[in-house]
C-alpha cells in the first residue's frame, strides 16, 4: 500500500544544462523522506539523470514533444496518451513541471483528477500567460514577485500563486581557500582579472551585450580576461559572437569554456560575475564570495519593493539598468581597479 504522496516530475532535459535543472535536483532531493515519493520523467540520459538515479530517485525515459512545437495533433495525442497511462500506473498524486509543459499537466490533471503545479522561472508576457493556460493549472510556483504580478495582471487568481525563490547549496558553494585557479589552469592567460558570464550560448542570455561590454573595457584595461561559461544552445548565435570577436580583435582576451561540471571551482576562480538574465548562478557566485553585477530592466513599479531582488544595488551587489552601457562599464572598471571592493 502506498504511504507517501507520489509526485511526478516532467523534466525538459536529462542533463544539468542550466539553473532550472539544478533547482529541480534540490527540490526532488529535499522532498525525499518528508512524506513525498518523487518520480521523474526526462527525455534522455545525462548527468542529471545519473545524479538522480545515484541518489535513489526513480527516473524513467519518455520523450514528450514540446506541446506548441509538435509536428501534428497526432504526435501530441500519442505522447499524451502515453503520459496519462504512465501517471496512472505510477499512481501519481500530483504532477509538476515548468510552464511550457502546462498542456500536458492540465490534461493529466483532468484525466486522473489530481492537482498539477506549474513552475514559472522567467519573464513571461501576458499573451503567453493565456497561451499556456495558466488559469487552468491547480497552482503556480513563481520564482519572483515580479513574475507573480505579471500572472495576476493576466488574470491568474492570486491565491493560486506562491512565490518561492531559487536556492543554493551552501555546503557546496562557498569560498575555497586554495591557490588553484581552474580557469587559469585550463586556459593559460596573461590576464590578472577574470570576468565571467554563465549560461547556455543563446540570445536570451545576452552574451552579445557581454562582449560589447568587454570590448569597451579592453580599450581601457588590458589586464582583464572575459570568460563565457556554458554549452552552445544556438549555433547561429555562437557564430555571430565569434564574428564580433574577430571584427573587434579581442580574441586574445575572450575565452569560451564550454560546459563545466566544476562550477564551484569555476566561480571561485572568477573575480567578477556579470549576468544579463538573472538566475540561480547569482546566488551561487555570492555564496562563493564573488561580486555580482546584475543587468536588468529596473521597473519603477517594483523599484521600492526589494524583497524579490536577489541582488540589491549597493548592498549585496550591483544593479545596472539594461541599456546603460556606460554605467555597466564603469562599474566593472571600478571593480577591476579595486581588489578590496571585489572582496
pLDDT band at 75 (very low <50, low <70, confident <90, very high): confident
What is the arithmetic mean of pLDDT over 140-169?
A: 94
CB 274 within 8 A of CB 332: yes
Q: Please count the other Cβ atoms lying within 10 Å of the Cβ belonging to residue 54.
A: 8
pLDDT at 180: 92
pLDDT band at residue 305 under the 50/70/90 scheme: very low
Long-range contacts of 299-302 (CB under 8 A, 24+ apart): 299/146, 301/149, 302/145, 302/146, 302/149
Taking residues 143-160, report their average pLDDT: 94
Specify which residues 256 forms β-bridges with: 228
The pLDDT of residue 133 is above 90: yes
Handedness of CA 331, 332, 334, 340 (dihedral sign): positive
Give residue 119's Cα distance to chain centre: 12
Neighbours of 125 (CB within 10 A): 10
Same fold: 5-163 with 182-342: yes
Q: Which of 110-119, 231-240, 305-314 has the lowest mean pLDDT?
A: 305-314
Span 200-215, pLDDT tens digits: 999 989 999 999 999 9
Burial (CB count <10 Å: 0-12, 13-18, 19+), residue 242: middle
Return the H-helix or E-strand segment holding 74: helix 73-89
pLDDT of 307: 40
Distance CA 129, CA 153 (A): 10
Percent of the chain with pLDDT over 90: 72
What pLDDT score does 304 carry?
38
Q: CA 18 → CA 48, 78, 130, 283, distances in Å?
A: 11, 29, 26, 14
Lowest mean pLDDT among 22-36, 98-112, 299-313: 299-313
pLDDT of residue 154: 96
What stretch of H or E contains 200?
A: none
pLDDT of the residue at 301 = 47
**pLDDT on residue 276:** 92
pLDDT of residue 298: 62
pLDDT at 309: 64
Mean pLDDT within 268-297: 93
CATH 3.90.1150.10 holds for 5-163: no
Q: What percent of the chain lies above the pLDDT cut of 70?
A: 94
The yes-or-no verdict on residue 302 having pLDDT over 50 is: no
Residue-range domain boundaries for the chain: 5-163, 182-342
Higher pLDDT among residues 8 and 34, named by residue: 8
pLDDT for res 2: 60
State the chain's mean pLDDT as an integer: 91
CATH 3.40.50.2000 fits 182-342, yes or no: yes
Across 54-76, average pLDDT? 85
248, with CB counted inside 10 A (0-12, 13-18, 19+), is middle
Amino acid at each position: 500500500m502506498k504511504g507517501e504522496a507520489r509526485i511526478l516530475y516532467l523534466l525538459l532535459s536529462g542533463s544539468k544544462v542550466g539553473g532550472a535543472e539544478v533547482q529541480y535536483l534540490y527540490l526532488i532531493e529535499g522532498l525525499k523522506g518528508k512524506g513525498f515519493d518523487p518520480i521523474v520523467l526526462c527525455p534522455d540520459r545525462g548527468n542529471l539523470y545519473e545524479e538522480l538515479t545515484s541518489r535513489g530517485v526513480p527516473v524513467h525515459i519518455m520523450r514528450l514533444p514540446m506541446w506548441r512545437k509538435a509536428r501534428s495533433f497526432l504526435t501530441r495525442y500519442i505522447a499524451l496518451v502515453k503520459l496519462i497511462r504512465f501517471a496512472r500506473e505510477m499512481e501519481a498524486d500530483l504532477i509538476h513541471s515548468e510552464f511550457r509543459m502546462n498542456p500536458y499537466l492540465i490534461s493529466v490533471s483532468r484525466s486522473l483528477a489530481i492537482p498539477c503545479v506549474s513552475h514559472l522561472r522567467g519573464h513571461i508576457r501576458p499573451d503567453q500567460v493565456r497561451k499556456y493556460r495558466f488559469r487552468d493549472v491547480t497552482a503556480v510556483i513563481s520564482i519572483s514577485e515580479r513574475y507573480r504580478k505579471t500572472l495576476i495582471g493576466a488574470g491568474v487568481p492570486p491565491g493560486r500563486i506562491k512565490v518561492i525563490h531559487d536556492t543554493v547549496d551552501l555546503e557546496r558553494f562557498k569560498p575555497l581557500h586554495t591557490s588553484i585557479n581552474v580557469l587559469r589552469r585550463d586556459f593559460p592567460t596573461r590576464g590578472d582579472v577574470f570576468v565571467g558570464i554563465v549560461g547556455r550560448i543563446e540570445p536570451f542570455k545576452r552574451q552579445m551585450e557581454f562582449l560589447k561590454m568587454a570590448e569597451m573595457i579592453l580599450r581601457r584595461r588590458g589586464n582583464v580576461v572575459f570568460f563565457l561559461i556554458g554549452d552552445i544552445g544556438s549555433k547561429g548565435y555562437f557564430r555571430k559572437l565569434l564574428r564580433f570577436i574577430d571584427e573587434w580583435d579581442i580574441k586574445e582576451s575572450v575565452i569560451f569554456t564550454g560546459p563545466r561540471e566544476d562550477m564551484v571551482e569555476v566561480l571561485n576562480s572568477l573575480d567578477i560575475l556579470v549576468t544579463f538574465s538573472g538566475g540561480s548562478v547569482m546566488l551561487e557566485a555570492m555564496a562563493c564570495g564573488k561580486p555580482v553585477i546584475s543587468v536588468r530592466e529596473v521597473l519603477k513599479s517594483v523599484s521600492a519593493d526589494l524583497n524579490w531582488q536577489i541582488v540589491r544595488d549597493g548592498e549585496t551587489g550591483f544593479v545596472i539598468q539594461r541599456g546603460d552601457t556606460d554605467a555597466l562599464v564603469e562599474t566593472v572598471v571600478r571593480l577591476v581597479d579595486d581588489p578590496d571592493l571585489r572582496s
